[in-house]
Structure 1
Amino acid sequence: MKIVWKNKAKAGGVSGGIGGKKRSRPLPITLNPDLPFDKGEDEASTAAGGEADSKNLNDGQEALTNEDRIRNLVECFRSQGNQLAEDGKYHEALGKWEAGVSLEPKNAVLHEQKAQILLEIGDSWNAIKAATQATELEPLWCEAWITLGRAQLNFGEPDSAIESFDRALEIKPNHEEALTDRNTAIRLVKKRKLLQASGLDVADNRYKVTDKVESV
Structure 2
Amino acid sequence: MTRVLVVEDDPQLVRALVINMRARRYGVDAAPDGATALRPAAAHRPDVVMLDLGLPDMDGVEVIRALRGWTRVPILVLSARQASDEKVAALDAGADDYITKPFSMDELPARLRAAVRRTEDTPLAPETTLVVTDGFTIDLLASKAVRDGHDVRLTPTEWHLLEILVTDPGRLVTQKRLLQEVWGVSRNNRTNCLWVCMAQLRRKLETDPAHPRCLITEPGMGYRFER
TM-score class, shorter-chain normalisation, is: under 0.3
Larger Rg: 1
Q: What's the TM-score, normalizing by structure 1? A: 0.27
Q: Greater strand percent: which structure?
A: 2
Q: What's the TM-score, normalizing by structure 2? A: 0.26
Structure with bigger RCO (C-alpha 8 Å, 6+ apart): 2
